[in-house]
Amino acid sequence: MLRALGLFVWTACLLLTLVVEAVAQSPEPTVVLDVPAGAQAGPDFDPEAATRAYLDLVSPEEREQSDAYSEGGYWLQLWGLLYGLGVAWLLLGTRLSAKMRDLSVRITRRLPLQTALYAIQYVVITAILVFPLTWYEGFFREHQYDFAMQSFGPWFGDQAKGLLVAVIFGALAMMLVYAAIRRMPNRWWIGGTAAAMSVVILLSTVFPVYIAPLFNDYQELEAGPTRDSILSLARANGIPADKVYWFDASRQTTRISANVSGMLGTMRISLNDNLLNGASPEEIESVMAHEMGHYVLNHVWERIIYISLVLVFGFAFVKWAFDRALARWGRNWGVTGVADTAGLPLLIALFSIYFFSMTPVVNGIVRGNETEADIFALNASRQPDGFARVAMRISDYRKLEPGPLEALIFNHHPSGHARVHMSMQWKAEHIGEEEP
């Protein structure tokens, strides 16, 4: 359930810590943009040589570690699927899921409340069962590769907050989905898709204002060159924003991030303090232009449309597979039909299989959007070296040069090599032009 919810949240926001007092002021960046000698502009500028000059900034040891982290992540997708299927088998095979349903029925006669009570039990129990994998993936492994900053206590506190969010939205999602199933018994896969996407839109709307601040402290970026340049870039591209927020991600991670998130009046421009304090003004501008590109190009709505199509086929597959599995094992599991909440572990298991098989498709959708936002960022910020430098910064946890098949299947963003090369091509085509 938690992993399935994560897929839904991803379509709208992309991911997801204890709030402590932040520093009173947000300093202006003091980092100077470092352009390799081989990438300096000039009459003999060669984009291929410039790309290689940037890639050579990464030592063989650093590249080996980045490759290991990325490739390990590929395997984690498989282990996560198998682990989740094991949890589903445990809940169904021991009839624990049926007992959870029976408990909900004893507490209330109202079907929506029965569904909500079952969902709460399901989310909590599965969170406990998958905690070893959650700990390994989110805590141990992040510390192993020096990306994490939290000790276990604060990290566990964030997991508890995430569990609370999952309980609330999981209960809401299951109430809507099972209401659709009961009202449309023969075409419940259509109603289920509509219900799921309604939750996605709701999450996208409330996330920046109500959920994100549960994990980090958000403050307005004070007046200064950085804020002014971001707001100027926003105004130039028709983005209705008069504030920029920064948040204290450095307590949790070494990674840089920024976003233009929200829908239906909750749009917010924000960047984390790792980016604010550790990057040059040119890098910050290129990152913010990329994030603004997603907004200007309507990528949130575009992804919602695409994911709706993915989900509707997913629900159709799940309906077909659920009926066959139920006919064979339903009596042993104590599951009476698709409208029976005790069958939720089977629904989630089938969706997990479906989404795993659709990984290249979903990644392709996201990667296409990211490429479009990259192009927008270069044209809007006109900072090719800042853009290239950011691509090198995130190479710590994204493989610089994956193989074509590897990138097609596993990469939801363009590779570091592709991004640097794109920026150097842009630079070659605009050498000699006056800065705006």
Span 406-419, mean pLDDT? 94
Separation of alpha carbons 336 and 334, rounded Å: 6
pLDDT over 60 at 371, yes or no: yes
pLDDT over 80 at 264, yes or no: no
Specify whether the CB–CB gap between 376 and 234 falls below 8 A.
Answer: no
Asked if the structure places residue 270 within a domain, the reply is yes
Asked if the structure places residue 253 within a domain, the reply is yes
Tell me which DSSP letter residue 414 carries: -
Q: How confident is the model at residue 203 (pLDDT cuts 50, 70, 90)?
A: confident
Confidence at residue 1, expressed as pLDDT on a 0 to 100 scale: 42
Confidence at residue 9, expressed as pLDDT on a 0 to 100 scale: 37
Backbone angles phi, psi at 259, to 5 degrees: -160, 155
pLDDT over 80 at 292, yes or no: yes
Radius of gyration of the chain (CA): 23
Separation of alpha carbons 54 and 400, rounded Å: 11
Provide, rounded to the nearest whole percent, the portion of the chain with pLDDT above 70.
92
For the stretch 376-404, pLDDT in tens is: 999 999 999 999 999 999 999 999 999 99
Of 57-71, 196-210, 347-361, the least confident: 196-210
Span 132-143, mean pLDDT? 96
Q: Which two tokens stand for residue 111?
A: 């079907």
Of 11-20, 81-90, 101-110, 335-344, the least confident: 11-20
Residue with the two structure tokens 């105004």: 235
Confidence at residue 433, expressed as pLDDT on a 0 to 100 scale: 74
Asked if the structure places residue 25 within a domain, the reply is no
Q: Which two tokens stand for residue 401?
A: 């040069």
Specify whether the CB–CB gap between 284 and 30 falls below 8 A.
Answer: no
Backbone angles phi, psi at 41, to 5 degrees: -65, 145
Entry pTM: 0.88
Boundaries of domain holding 76 = 2-19+42-430
Q: How confident is the model at residue 7 (pLDDT cuts 50, 70, 90)?
A: very low
3-state secondary structure of 282: helix
Residue 119's nearest CA partner among 198, 180, 178 is: 178
If you write DSSP's letter for every residue of 242-254 in order, what string do you get? Answer: S--EEE-GGGTBS
pLDDT over 50 at 8, yes or no: no
Span 64-88, mean pLDDT? 95
Span 301-319, mean pLDDT? 88
Specify whether the CB–CB gap between 246 and 227 falls below 8 A.
Answer: no
Number of domains in the chain: 1
For the stretch 10-23, pLDDT in tens is: 333 333 222 222 33
Confidence at residue 192, expressed as pLDDT on a 0 to 100 scale: 81
Q: If 0-12 CB within 10 Å is exposed, 13-18 middle and 19+ buried, where does residue 225 land?
A: exposed
Asked if the structure places residue 31 within a domain, the reply is no
Confidence at residue 263, expressed as pLDDT on a 0 to 100 scale: 73
Specify whether the CB–CB gap between 196 and 355 falls below 8 A.
Answer: no
Span 20-32, mean pLDDT? 51
Q: Which two tokens stand for residue 259?
A: 């976003």
Q: How confident is the model at residue 30 (pLDDT cuts 50, 70, 90)?
A: low
Q: How confident is the model at residue 301 (pLDDT cuts 50, 70, 90)?
A: confident
Question: Cβ–Cβ contacts within 10 Å for residue 94, how many?
Answer: 11
Residue 288's nearest CA partner among 253, 241, 222, 219 is: 241
pLDDT over 90 at 28, yes or no: no
Pairing of strands 268-272, 258-261: antiparallel
Asked if the structure places residue 139 within a domain, the reply is yes
b/e per residue, 308-347, with b = 16+ CB within 10 A?
bebbbebbbbbbebbeebbeeebeebbbeebebbbbbbbb
Residues 6+ apart with CB under 8 A from 126: 1, 2, 87, 91
Specify whether the CB–CB gap between 275 and 287 falls below 8 A.
Answer: yes
Asked if the structure places residue 65 within a domain, the reply is yes
The residues pairing with 269 across neighbouring beta strands, listed in sequence order, are 260
pLDDT over 60 at 247, yes or no: yes
Asked if the structure places residue 308 within a domain, the reply is yes
CA torsion, points 71, 75, 77, 81, in degrees to nearest 10?
180
Asked if the structure places residue 396 within a domain, the reply is yes
For the chain, what is the mean pLDDT? 88
CA torsion, points 45, 48, 50, 55, in degrees to nearest 10?
180
The residues pairing with 261 across neighbouring beta strands, listed in sequence order, are 268
Span 64-89, mean pLDDT? 95
